[in-house]
């Protein structure tokens, strides 16, 4: 297809660079500088898709971000993007776009059958039906879901990457139209660090679409001059093709930058998009204005556009949107479109003006140019369905709420309507800025804000070029002066040479026809979601009077364009229906993002391996080579077990368990939290945070401690050693270490600043090798000469300094396995070397590396708890049978008072017990719920649950720990664990299964 | 009340839908009511509805300071499930789910209850243990639930990333087939319409500014539209309950936090079930309109601003992309915030108070929507009988004194 | 995302901090002498002020030090930061008192 609608000259496109692209599989061509929309129009394509509900044929309406209709599925496969605006996709070679929500094509769409039923599909129809039969909704919904949605999600993972940049700026200017450029220039002249952001690929904003002059030269020449001036300033950052999508508290902005020339692909190994997180001292919003449509009957027909868009296509892209154009307006500005079309050689059939005797300078120019101006009139109907064929025009009555006389038909294929302009107050509103209603032209303009922010130009409701330049310049100077910065040499305020006197708008929100709304064509407010004037009126009639109710009931403004063109007219229609003013009705809340933001860009690099850091111990690679499986514990990755070839998990764990019980095993215990505690009040501090007594722990000794929350519930546990006078080393659970460190700091800093105690996290300073098993002493003795391993010299719950394998080491004799056990702490950098040496030397002792699973089995055989497994934030030490560790002598410790509350002091709370299954081979499921009596069917009363359950290779039967209501009072009772397919009977026993006397760990 | 049906829709279509009645009246407040409900969200409206329906108390006003359903009812991610760990919670939420299952017909308003199932993913061995514990408990409480392996998850959600080498691989999941979503606004509107039909006055734009308390007993409320006398007052104002308790002169164990949610642009169906993950912290479902509905965790700080911070959204989206790499190219269309009131034990308060005749229903945190009808049902009982129903007896304000907490932190997984 | 003025490090992004909830809740001297209700008040009851809220923050990813902050929870305006152990500045106290009077 040739570019039938391309003008012979003009526009900012580069005609030397032809670009081929595909639309719905058809090869077309455009030029560099085109958007997909302008290229489609150049090729004579107006019909681009179908609407959400009625599947009405829809065309291109605008030339920008406010576009409600021209959504396309861009690209295919891994590169596809749903619901992209054709008006915002710069054309690139090979671009492949297709229409959404229609099949087989936008011209012939099967689902258009919906529009036949439009009479029974008013706003909210689905709330009133689909209720029979009771189970019917599931079936209806299936079809509704299939019909809904517009584009398609990708079906394969994204191939592109994204990144983020954090930035600080003195002044951020959003919008590089005349006002924004003037602001940036004025601010930059003071030496301020300025960031200028614009969503378009070129600076200029609305000037790109106009034929204005500034400082006596074409406006775009002025833009180019300002751009080079700013580019030369090292303190200025210009971000083109970058949308400020959100404005958050404390002057924080989110920007999304397209880093690639074509929006669908990353290029040259660059990330496709970048999110900028910008903290600004001052923000200037020069975000311009969005033209609002006039709401006339069948205003959704392809070819019905906005007046400003017509001249954008003519002036910027050298495209004539149609062959015969009609302008429909309530203001003078739209006459610019008529004049620009005419100047470009396009046909303007008429200007239909709702005002009586419009007389502004632009009107005069239009009449002089030979354009017919039909005043005091309304478009009452549009001919054509897949493309406008003509319009019907009638005179308005005096109140402008009806039409009179006879209808006149004007043949045309394109209508550009203008109902005035709405300032883009979105960003201002995101951060709780208020808006105020300006009655004379019926617009919301930005009001008070909490942020260090100013709006200027059209965004501030100042629509003339001269105003925009002046306000921008002032905003730039003012922002800098708030920061104490002034320009030594102030640049001259740019002057507009194109401004003319304009006559006021005539605000008519609803363009009447001969019949009430909804009975002669449809007046669309939200074209994408098919929301009409009649829908909003229905909402008001049915009592959905709040603007939020009306929005939600009709879905007005809930489409991908978020109502950029339709909301204000919609709110006006609602106000009229309720007989109240628009400010009384108010607006719905403007929420980020201003336009849709790629989720991958918001995730940035925080995906895959960077989603959350992995903490690895110094011995990580050894474990990996030994073929271990891993367990995630907090951010740590720990060896879970080390299966030999062909071994099942159970086989491997049993082998590891028996090795520890009968020979020696080695565990990488590096991940246990280690907190160095120093200071004259360290013992007192420990005494307050642990449940047991700490004032008399001698240097060289270790003690187990239990830490409670202030609510009395177990929070963490570990062994703390006295390293010297006023010096302790606390160990914590692996996952709980950061929490415990923060907890201790909080108490010290906020509650007990008088205590002289200093905390240092030393977890990562040490590698910890745990040797456990009857051969542990013999093996260790091969590595040390200066540590006396004799039981009397180095008893259980003590520690020694010395060298192990020539490495300075601190060795703790503590045990979580119930065996003779040493935890050897060496500098982290020496961990791998020592580990390797011990493994080699240990061969003759039967050394076996073991992982967390074996550790869990061994400690469960001993009845040792794991915080987070035997506890869940609702368990006290007494529940665990650990009253031996709760000091009754200490007047206070954290959590003590909570233990005497009615519920916590109850004797029949859940208690930690052991379970022995009737069938010793049967291993209970962890998490299994326990009942005292079974019933054939649920519900059954539960009395507790299985917290830990394993096959004990050492004992030759299964073991389990459980929390059971009044468990200590049920010793010997038989209880049941229903597992779904069967019920397992078990006996409540003591929670210590192995070596209850502790002779092994003391030996 | 005109019955809604396909027939009434057809009949009204003939008349261009000019003859539909108001869904609810907008009456001026009467000087006195038997019961005043403060807060016109889903829970408040449900309370009024069940007061009228179950207890025959129809001289009831619902006072809403803004627009009804405008608080968390209209801001949540509409997830419904009842697979809670503790008996007290499970029974309450299950009651609610059962009421939901008949609600469209009961109130003659299609709330679009969509029982497509809810998955709660487990990403660590600890998660797996806790998830199984919850599923076993659900089963014995008579609540539908299963534990699914990754392969079974794949059948329900083919697009989820089950690669075992990802940072927090999916090891399993609980699945409640009866869980799903409902249309949140419809719940509020339908309950409003049905309450109104039973004589309840729904009064919007009416802010309560004080309580009239005489000798420890409630006698009425002061409002922006004057004094209204009341024999009993039920307060259901998520987010603002401490503002109310301050007026009544007692303290609450509540903090208000922003909770953010967001939707993507609408696409054809890509995910049927609701997927929630506590460990990577996200929840995802797809609305009937085609939008992905995504939830984040609460912002840590107290706030009444209904705005949250971008970094919470960024973390949330990263989690979504980690679990669903193909959503990376989809786009976020709208984000918003609500104010949730959180309790220390992550369970609600549905309780009598130190003031006679004054009742509070609050503290639902991030998960109140699923409880809407059940919460209203038990609260109506509590108000009507001046004593809790056995389903909400445990959810008393006293529990913070005597320690009988219902700690659902672990079970709630992702705070929802 | 807030911009928080750490009294020790200066202005930093909210992401570097952790929230420490309501400030000025002193741990009772002799918990054993308290009734369950009094203990519950310390443990659980919170002001949750809508308006000027006195709260604690800690610069977790910075100096790791705790401090107090006065913030309007309705507007999120940070009104003052002050050290642990200090009372809020007078203008903040006046704001709070003014609110009480109204």
Q: Are residues A368 and A404 in the same domain?
A: yes
Question: A303 and A285 in one domain?
Answer: no
CB nearest B267 (choices: A119, A151, A277): A151
- Is C71 inside any structural domain? yes
**If you average pLDDT over residues A399-424, what whole number do you get?**
97
Q: Say what the pLDDT of residue B306 is.
A: 85
Residue C101 inside a domain? The answer is: no
Does a structural domain hold residue A706?
no
- What is the ipTM for the molecules in this complex? 0.97
In this prediction, the residues of chain C whose per-residue pLDDT falls under 50 are: 100-102
Contact status, residue A617 vs residue A646, Cβ threshold 8 Å: no
Burial class of A111 by CB neighbour count within 10 A (0 to 12, 13 to 18, 19+): middle
Distance CA A639, CA A624 (A): 8
- Number of independent structural domains in chain C: 1
Supply the DSSP symbol for A749. Answer: I
**Taking the model in full, what pTM does it have?**
0.96
CATH number of the domain encompassing residue A122: 3.10.20.440
Q: Which of B346, B339, B371, B312 lies closest to B184 in space, CA to CA?
A: B371
H helix or E strand, kind and range, residue B335: strand B331-342
Q: Are residues A392 and A438 in the same domain?
A: no
Contacts of residue A188, Cβ cutoff 8 Å, sequence gap at least 6 = A194, A230, A233, A235, A236, A476
Average pLDDT, stretch A685-711?
Answer: 97
Paired tokens of A278: 């910008």
The yes-or-no verdict on residue B347 having pLDDT over 60 is yes
Q: How far is CA A532 from the centre of its chain?
A: 32
Nearest chain A Cα to C42, which residue?
A: A710
Could you say which of A125, A611, A927 has the minimum Cβ distance to residue B318?
A611
State the Cα–Cα distance between residues A30 and A793, nearest whole angstrom.
Answer: 89
Q: Who among A79, A249, A519 is closest to B307 (CB)? A: A249
B245-263 burial, b for 16+ CB within 10 Å, e for fewer?
bebbeebbbbbbbbbbbbb
Tens of pLDDT, residues B356-398: 999 999 999 999 999 999 999 999 999 999 999 999 999 999 9
Q: Domain range for residue C12?
A: 3-96
Asked if the C-beta of C61 comes within 8 angstroms of chain B's C-beta atoms, the answer is: no
In a mutational test of the B interface, the residue from A79, A543, A855 whose CB has the highest number of chain B CBs within 10 Å is A543
Q: Residue A149: which of B133, B267, B332 has the nearest Cβ?
A: B267
C-chain residues near A251 (CB < 8 A): 3
Report how many Cβ contacts below 8 Å link chain A to chain B: 333
Q: Is B254 on the interface with C (CB under 8 A)?
A: yes
Q: Is A146 on the interface with B (CB under 8 A)?
A: yes
Q: Are residues A430 and A408 in the same domain?
A: no
Q: What is the DSSP string of B144-198?
A: --EEE-HHHHHHH-TTS---TTSSS---EEEEETT-EE--HHHHHHHHHHHHHHT
Strands B118-122, B172-176: pairing kind: antiparallel
> Cα separation of B100 and B372, whole Å?
9
In a domain, C40, yes or no: yes
Nearest to B329 among A80, A254, A553 (CB): A80
Distance from CA of B365 to the nearest CA of C (A): 14
pLDDT 10s digits, A715-757: 999 999 999 999 999 999 999 999 999 999 999 999 999 999 9
* pLDDT tens digits for range A768-809: 999 999 999 999 999 999 999 999 999 999 999 999 999 999
**Residues B252, C45: C-beta atoms closer than 8 Å:** yes
Return the pLDDT at A435: 96
Averaged pLDDT for residues B179-204: 98
- Look at residue C102 and tell me if it is in a domain: no
Q: Please check whether residues A372 and A401 belong to one and the same domain.
A: yes
pLDDT tens for each residue of B154-184: 999 999 999 999 999 999 999 999 999 999 9
Beta carbons of A277 and C14 less than 8 angstroms apart: no
- Domain extent, residue A126, equals 1-157
- A446/A540 same-domain check: no
Do residues A135 and A62 share a domain?
A: yes
Nearest CA in chain B to A278: B310
- Here the CATH number for the domain that contains residue C15 is 3.30.2270.10
Q: How many CB atoms lie within 10 A of CB B231?
A: 17
Name the neighbours of A, counting chains with at least 3 Cβ pairs within 8 A: B, C
Our CA-based measurement puts residue C76 at a distance from the nearest CA of chain B, in whole angstroms, of 7
- Lay out the sheet containing C66-72: strands in order across: C18-22, C52-58, C66-72, C78-83
At residue B361, the 3 state secondary structure works out as strand
Q: pLDDT band at residue A193, thresholds of 50, 70 and 90? A: very high
Partner A contacted by C18 (CB < 8 A): yes
Q: Which of A536, A561, A578 is the last residue of a domain?
A: A578
C3/A896 touch (CB, cutoff 8 Å), yes or no: no
- Give per-residue pLDDT as tens, A262-319: 888 888 788 999 999 999 999 999 999 999 999 999 999 999 999 999 999 999 999 9
C-beta separation of B271 from B286 below 8 A: yes
Same structural domain, A521 and A506 = no
- Smallest CA–CA distance from B399 into chain C, residue: C40
Count of A–C CB contacts within 8 Å?
59
Any idea which of A71-80, A144-153, B47-56, C3-12 has the lowest mean pLDDT? A144-153
Q: What is the pLDDT of residues A643-669, one digit of tens each?
A: 999 999 999 999 999 999 999 999 999
List Cβ neighbours of A340 (8 Å cut-off, separation of 6 or more). Answer: A211, A310, A311, A314, A315
pLDDT in tens, B273-282: 999 998 888 8
**Secondary structure element (H or E) that encloses residue A715, with its range:** strand A714-724
In terms of domains, do A151 and A173 share one?
A: no
Compute the residue count for chain A: 1003
* Domain boundary residue, one of A104, A132, A157: A157
The residues, any chain, with a CB within 8 Å of residue B336's CB and separated by 6 or more, are: A589, A591, B75, B260, B261, B262, B306
Tell me, what's the pLDDT at B410?
A: 63
- Any chains having at least 3 CB pairs less than 8 A from chain C are A, B
Mutation target for C interface from A250, A451, A754, A892: give the one with most C CBs within 10 A.
Answer: A250
| Residues contacting A571, CB < 8 A, separation 6+ | A547, A582, A585, A586, A587, A588
Minimum-distance CB partner of B23 among A119, A543, A980: A543
Q: Do C48 and B303 touch (CB under 8 A)?
A: no
What phi-psi label fits residue B149: left (phi over 0), alpha (psi between -120 and 50 degrees) or beta? beta
Per-residue burial over A537-569, b = 16 or more CB atoms within 10 Å of its CB, e = otherwise: bbbbbbbbbbbbbbbbbbbbbbbbbbbbbbbbb
The Cα A823–Cα A804 span in angstroms is 11
Tokens standing for residue A31: 């030029």
| A147, burial (CB in 10 Å: exposed 0-12, middle 13-18, buried 19+) | middle
Lowest mean pLDDT among A960-969, B278-287, B352-361: B278-287
Average of per-residue pLDDT across A232-236: 98
Q: What is the pLDDT of residue C101?
A: 45
Q: Which residues of A touch C84 (CB under 8 A)?
A: 749-750, 753
| Contact criterion met (CB < 8 Å) for A249 and C76 | yes
DSSP labels, A794-806 = S-TTEEEEEEETT
User: Distance (Å) from the C-alpha of residue A431 to the closest C-alpha of chain C?
Assistant: 9
**pLDDT at position B413 over 50:** no
**Spatial separation of the C-alpha atoms in residues A577 and A532, rounded to whole Å:** 13
What is the CATH number for A406? 3.50.50.60
Contacts of A980 in chain B (CB under 8 A): 139
Which chain C residue's Cα is nearest to A166?
C13
Judge whether A557 and A551 are in contact, CB under 8 Å. yes
Are the Cβ atoms of C50 and B304 closer than 8 angstroms? yes
Instruction: Assign A670 to helix, strand or coil.
Output: coil
- Is residue B118 within 8 Å of residue B81, measured between CB atoms? yes
Which chain B residue has its CA at the smallest distance from A147's CA? B268
The residue in chain A having the minimum alpha-carbon distance to the alpha carbon of residue C65 is A749
Question: How confident is the model over B246-261, as a mean pLDDT?
Answer: 96
Q: Is A529 helix (H, G, I), strand (E, B) or coil?
A: coil
**Which among A290, A241, A587 has a CA at the least distance from the CA of A424?**
A290
A235, A166: one domain: yes
* A82 Cβ under 8 Å from any chain B Cβ: yes
Chain B contacts of C2, Cβ < 8 Å? 301, 309
CB C46 within 8 A of CB C24: no
Mean of per-residue pLDDT scores for chain A = 96
Chain B residues with CB-CB distance to C71 below 8 A: 301
Mean pLDDT, residues A890-919:
96
Identify the CA nearest to A978 among candidates A938, A937, A929: A929
Q: CB contact, 8 Å: B303 with chain C?
A: yes
Q: Is B400 on the interface with C (CB under 8 A)?
A: yes
- Chain C residues whose CB is inside 8 A of the A892 CB are 30-32
CA distance C71 to chain A (A): 12
Mean pLDDT for the stretch of residues A684-690: 98
CA proximity to A359, closest of A337, A382, A334, A332: A332
Question: How is the beta sheet containing A96-99 ordered, strand by strand?
Answer: A26-32, A14-23, A96-99, A71-74, A81-85
- Comparing alpha-carbon positions, the chain A residue that sits nearest to C78 is A250
Question: Is there a single domain that holds both residue A455 and residue A508?
Answer: no
User: Are residues A248 and B309, on separate chains, in Cβ contact within 8 Å?
Assistant: yes
Weakest-pLDDT range from A468-472, A514-518, A684-688, B35-39: A514-518
Residue B34 CA to residue B22 CA, distance in Å, equals 25
CB B112 within 8 A of CB B103: no
**Both A234 and A260 in a single domain?**
yes
- Interchain contact C62–A (C-beta under 8 A): no
Instruction: Tell me the mean pLDDT in the region A382-394.
Output: 97
Domain boundary among A578, A604, A633: A578
CB–CB of B278/B346 below 8 Å? no
B42-77 per-position pLDDT tens digit: 999 999 999 999 999 999 999 999 999 999 999 999
Which residues of chain C does A592 touch, with a Cβ-Cβ cutoff of 8 Å?
none
A566 part of a folded domain: yes
The reply to whether omega before A422 is within 30° of 0 (cis) is no
Mutation target to probe the C interface, by most C beta carbons within 10 A, among A897, A901, A902 is: A897
Residue C48 tokens, joined: 């949750």
Alpha-carbon gap, residue A532 to A548, rounded angstroms:
16
Give the nearest chain B residue to A263 (CA atoms): B329
Does any CB of chain B come closer than 8 Å to the CB of residue A615? no
**Does a cis peptide bond (omega within 30 degrees of 0) precede residue A104?**
yes
Q: Which pLDDT belongs to residue A104?
A: 87
Is C26 part of the contact surface with chain B (CB cutoff 8 Å)? Answer: no
Written as six digits, the tokens of A139 are: 């079936």
Please count the structural domains in chain A.
4
Q: For residues A337 and A596, give the distance between their C-alpha atoms in angstroms, rounded to a whole number.
A: 29
CB within 8 Å: B305 and C40: no
């Amino acid at each position: 297809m040739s570019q039938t609608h391309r003008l012979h000259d003009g526009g900012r496109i580069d005609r030397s660079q032809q670009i081929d692209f595909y639309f719905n599989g058809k090869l077309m061509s455009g030029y560099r500088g085109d958007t997909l929309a302008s290229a489609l129009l150049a090729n004579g394509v107006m019909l681009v898709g179908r609407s959400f509900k009625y599947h009405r044929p829809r065309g291109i309406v605008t030339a920008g971000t406010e576009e409600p209709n021209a959504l396309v599925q861009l690209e295919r496969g891994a590169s596809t993007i749903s619901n992209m605006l054709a008006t915002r996709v710069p054309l690139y070679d090979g671009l492949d776009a297709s229409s959404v929500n229609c099949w087989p094509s936008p011209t012939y769409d099967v689902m258009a059958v919906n529009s036949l039923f439009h009479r029974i599909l008013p706003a909210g129809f689905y709330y009133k039906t689909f209720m029979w039969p009771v189970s019917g909704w599931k079936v209806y919904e299936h079809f509704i879901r299939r019909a809904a949605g517009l584009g398609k999600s990708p079906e394969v993972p994204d191939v592109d990457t994204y990144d983020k940049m954090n930035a600080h700026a003195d002044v951020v200017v959003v919008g590089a139209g005349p006002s924004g450029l003037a602001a940036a220039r004025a601010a930059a002249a003071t030496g301020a660090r300025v960031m200028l952001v614009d969503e378009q690929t070129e600076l200029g904003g609305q000037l790109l679409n106009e034929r204005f002059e500034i400082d006596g030269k074409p406006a775009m020449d002025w833009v180019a001059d300002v751009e080079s001036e700013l580019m030369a300033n090292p303190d200025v950052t210009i971000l083109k093709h970058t949308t400020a999508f959100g404005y958050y508290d404390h002057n924080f902005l989110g920007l999304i930058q397209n880093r690639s020339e074509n929006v669908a692909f990353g290029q040259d190994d660059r990330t496709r998009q970048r999110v900028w997180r910008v903290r600004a001292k001052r923000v200037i919003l020069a975000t311009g204005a969005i033209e609002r449509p006039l709401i006339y009957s069948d205003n959704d027909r392809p070819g019905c556009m906005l007046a400003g868009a017509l001249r954008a296509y003519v002036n910027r892209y050298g495209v004539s949107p149609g062959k015969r154009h009609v302008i429909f307006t309530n203001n003078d500005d739209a006459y610019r479109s008529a004049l620009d079309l005419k100047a470009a050689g396009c046909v303007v059939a008429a200007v239909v003006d709702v005002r009586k005797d419009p007389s502004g300078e632009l009107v005069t120019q239009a009449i002089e140019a030979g354009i017919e101006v039909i005043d005091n009139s309304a478009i009452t109907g549009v001919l054509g369905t897949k493309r406008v064929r003509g319009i019907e025009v009638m005179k308005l009555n005096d109140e402008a709420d009806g039409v009179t006389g006879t209808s006149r038909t004007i043949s045309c294929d394109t209508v550009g309507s203008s109902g005035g302009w709405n300032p883009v107050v979105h960003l201002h509103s995101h951060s709780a800025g208020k808006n105020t209603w300006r009655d004379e032209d019926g617009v919301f303009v930005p009001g008070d804000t909490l942020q260090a922010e100013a709006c200027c130009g059209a965004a501030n409701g100042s629509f003339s070029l001269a105003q925009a330049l002046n306000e921008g310049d002032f905003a730039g100077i003012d922002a800098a002066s708030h920061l104490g910065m002034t320009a030594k040499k102030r640049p001259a305020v740019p002057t507009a040479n194109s401004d003319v006197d304009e006559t006021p708008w005539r605000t008519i929100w609803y363009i009447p026809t001969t019949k009430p709304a909804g009975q002669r064509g449809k007046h669309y407010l939200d074209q994408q979601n098919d929301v009409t004037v009649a829908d909003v009126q229905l909402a008001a009639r049915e009592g959905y009077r709040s603007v939020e109710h009306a929005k939600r009931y009709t879905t007005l403004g809930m489409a991908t364009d978020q109502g950029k063109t339709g909301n204000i007219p919609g709110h006006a229609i609602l106000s009229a229906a309720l007989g109240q003013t628009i400010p009384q009705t108010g607006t719905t809340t403007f929420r980020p993002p201003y336009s849709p933001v790629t989720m991958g860009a918001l995730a940035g690099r925080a995906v895959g391996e960077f989603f959350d850091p992995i903490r690895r111990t110094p011995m990580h690679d050894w474990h990996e080579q030994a073929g271990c499986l891993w367990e995630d514990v907090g951010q740590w990755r720990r060896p879970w077990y080390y299966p030999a070839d062909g071994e099942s998990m159970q086989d491997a764990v049993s082998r590891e368990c028996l090795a520890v019980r009968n020979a020696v095993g080695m565990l990488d215990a590096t991940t246990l939290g280690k907190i160095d505690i120093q200071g004259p009040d360290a013992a007192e501090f420990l005494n307050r945070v642990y449940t047991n007594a700490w004032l008399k722990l001698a240097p060289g000794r270790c003690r187990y401690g239990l830490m409670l929350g202030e609510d009395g519930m177990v929070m963490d546990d570990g062994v703390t050693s006295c390293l010297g006078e006023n010096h302790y080393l606390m160990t914590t659970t692996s996952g709980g270490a950061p929490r415990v460190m923060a907890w201790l700091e909080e108490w010290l800093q906020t509650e007990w600043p008088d205590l002289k105690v200093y905390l240092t996290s030393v977890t990562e300073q040490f590698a910890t090798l745990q040797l456990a098993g009857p051969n542990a002493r013999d093996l260790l003795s091969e590595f040390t000469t200066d540590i006396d391993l004799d039981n009397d010299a180095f008893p259980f719950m003590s520690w020694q300094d010395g060298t192990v394998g020539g490495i300075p080491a601190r060795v703790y004799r503590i045990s979580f396995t119930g065996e003779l056990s040493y935890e050897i702490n060496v500098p982290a950098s020496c961990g791998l070397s020592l580990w390797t040496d011990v493994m080699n030397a240990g061969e003759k002792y039967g050394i076996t590396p073991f992982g967390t699973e074996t550790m869990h089995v061994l400690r469960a055989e001993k009845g040792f708890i794991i915080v987070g497994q035997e506890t869940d934030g609702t368990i006290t030490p007494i529940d665990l049978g650990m009253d031996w560790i709760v000091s009754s002598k200490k007047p206070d410790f954290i959590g003590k008072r909570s233990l005497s509350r009615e519920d916590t002091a109850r004797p029949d709370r859940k208690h930690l017990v052991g379970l022995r299954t009737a069938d010793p081979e049967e291993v209970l499921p962890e998490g299994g719920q326990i009942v005292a009596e079974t019933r054939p069917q649920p519900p059954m009363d539960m009395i507790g649950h299985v917290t830990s359950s394993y096959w004990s290779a050492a004992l030759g039967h299964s073991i389990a720990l459980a929390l059971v209501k009044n468990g200590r009072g049920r010793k010997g009772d038989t209880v049941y664990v229903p597992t779904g397919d069967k019920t397992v009977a078990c006996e409540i026993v003591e929670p210590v299964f192995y070596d209850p006397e502790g002779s092994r760990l003391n030996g | 009340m005109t019955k809604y049906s396909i027939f009434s829709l057809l009949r009204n279509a003939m008349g261009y839908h000019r003859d539909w009645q108001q869904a609810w009246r907008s009456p001026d407040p009467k000087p006195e009511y038997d019961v005043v409900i403060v807060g016109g969200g889903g829970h408040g409206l449900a309370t009024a509805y069940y007061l009228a329906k179950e207890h025959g108390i129809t001289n009831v006003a619902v006072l809403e300071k803004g627009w009804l359903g405008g608080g968390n009812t209209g801001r949540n991610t509409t997830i419904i499930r009842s697979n809670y760990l503790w008996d007290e919670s499970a029974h309450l939420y299950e009651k609610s789910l059962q009421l939901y299952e008949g609600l469209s017909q009961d109130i003659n308003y299609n709330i679009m209850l969509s029982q497509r199932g809810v998955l709660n993913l487990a990403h660590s061995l600890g998660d797996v243990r806790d998830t199984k514990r919850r599923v076993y408990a659900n089963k014995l409480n008579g609540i539908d639930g299963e534990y699914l392996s990754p392969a079974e998850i794949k059948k329900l959600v083919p697009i989820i990333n089950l690669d075992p080498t990802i940072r927090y691989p999916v090891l399993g999941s609980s699945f409640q087939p009866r869980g799903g979503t409902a249309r949140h606004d419809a719940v509020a509107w339908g309950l409003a319409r049905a309450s109104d039909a039973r004589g309840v006055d729904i009064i919007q734009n009416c802010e309560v500014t004080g309580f009239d308390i005489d000798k420890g007993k409630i006698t009425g409320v002061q409002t922006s539209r004057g004094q209204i006398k009341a024999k009993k007052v039920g307060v259901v104002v998520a987010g603002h309950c401490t503002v109310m308790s301050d007026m009544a002169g007692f303290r609450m164990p509540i903090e208000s936090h922003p909770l953010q949610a967001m939707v993507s642009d609408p696409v054809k169906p890509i995910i049927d079930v609701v997927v929630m993950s506590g460990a990577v912290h996200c929840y995802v479902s797809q609305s009937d309109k085609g939008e992905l509905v995504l939830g984040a965790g609460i912002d840590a700080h107290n706030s009444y601003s209904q705005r949250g911070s971008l970094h919470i959204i960024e973390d949330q989206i990263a989690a979504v992309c980690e679990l669903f790499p193909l959503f990376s190219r989809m786009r976020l269309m709208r984000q918003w915030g609500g104010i949730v009131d959180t309790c220390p034990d992550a369970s609600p308060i549905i309780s009598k108070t130190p003031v006679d005749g004054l009742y509070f229903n609050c503290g639902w945190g991030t998960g109140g929507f699923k409880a809407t009808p059940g919460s209203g049902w038990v609260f109506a009982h509590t108000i009507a009988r001046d004593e809790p129903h056995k389903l909400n007896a445990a959810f008393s304000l006293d529990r913070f004194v005597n320690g009988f907490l219902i700690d659902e932190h672990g079970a709630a997984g992702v705070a929802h | 995302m807030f911009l928080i003025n750490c009294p020790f490090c200066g202005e930093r992004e909210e992401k570097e901090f952790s929230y420490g909830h309501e400030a000025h809740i002193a741990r009772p001297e002799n918990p054993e002498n308290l009734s369950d209700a009094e203990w519950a008040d310390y443990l659980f009851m919170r002001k949750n002020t809508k308006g000027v809220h006195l709260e604690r923050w800690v610069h977790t990813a910075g100096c790791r030090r705790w401090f107090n902050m006065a913030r309007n929870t309705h507007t999120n305006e940070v009104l003052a930061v002050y050290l642990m152990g200090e009372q809020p500045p007078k203008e903040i106290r006046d704001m709070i008192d003014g609110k009480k009077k109204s």
